[in-house]
Chains A and B, each alone.
Chain A
């Protein structure tokens, strides 16, 4: 198999970064518009519900190894994570009835977006033809 050209490597990197930043954008740029719209709605819905339930957008807590995994999943939300953090949202209210459910929705949304990045990569390199 021929070596990938640097320019296309760069384009692939930018594509994956954009796929992370905005849920579904990678698929939209690859002309998978229906799936892009569905994925966008799913991830944003999960994220918003998670915030409304007082869930937490995790950052690493020293001495809590699981918080590192949760941070990876939270960061998977891309721009949603950055904007929410900037606005002071997603601090998490541990005493709220919906806290654990909120975490579940936020982490689910982040994991979905991480899977979308992988799917975008597979489509871009031709491993998946649809």
Chain B
């Protein structure tokens, strides 16, 4: 089975491609939008994970 990061990246990839084709018309716009959404989802999740890292579960 894929690890958590790979699965998150795959989900982010599907979502980024989906919205770039749903909302953008031109090829160039789609690429730009794709990298923006993909980067935000991936880096945002990693950043959020680091942010909550110091907080204990209980």
Cβ contact of A130, chosen from B11, B14, B18, B25, cutoff 8 A: B25
**Which residues of A in the span 50-79 have a Cβ within 8 Å of any Cβ on B?**
53
Query: In chain B, residues 1-58, which have Cβ atoms closer than 8 Å to a Cβ of chain A?
Result: 1, 4, 7, 10-11, 14-15, 17-18, 21-22, 25
Of all chain B residues, which has the CB nearest A35?
Answer: B21
User: Is A49 a contact of B10 with CB atoms below 8 Å?
Assistant: yes
Distance, CA A42 to CA B14, complexed state (A): 6
CA of A97 to CA of B22 in the docked complex: distance in angstroms? 32
In whole angstroms, how far apart are the Cα atoms of A116 and B22 in the complex?
8
Supposing A53-B1, A97-B1 touch, asked if A104 and B11 sit within 8 A by C-beta, the answer is: yes
CA distance A45 to B13 in the complex (A): 11
Given A98-B1, A101-B4, residue A45 in contact with residue B21 (CB < 8 A): no
- Residue tally, chain A, CB below 8 Å to B: 19
| Complex Cα–Cα for A108 and B12 (A) | 10
Task: Give Cα distance in the complex from A38 to B22, angstroms.
Answer: 10
Shortest C-beta distance, A14 to chain B (Å), equals 22
**Is the pair B14, A45 in contact by a Cβ cutoff of 8 Å?**
yes
8 Å CB interface, A7-31 against B: none
Closest to B17 in A: A42
Q: How far is the CB of B25 from chain A (nearest CB, A)?
A: 5
Distance (whole angstroms) from the CB of B40 to the closest CB of chain A = 16
With A39-B21, A98-B7 given, name 9 new contacts (CB 8 A): A35-B21, A42-B18, A45-B14, A49-B10, A53-B7, A108-B11, A108-B15, A112-B14, A112-B15
Task: Please give the residue numbers on chain A whose beta carbons come within 8 Å of chain B beta carbons, in ascending order.
Answer: 35, 38-39, 42, 45-46, 49, 53, 97-98, 101, 104-105, 108, 112, 115-116, 119, 130
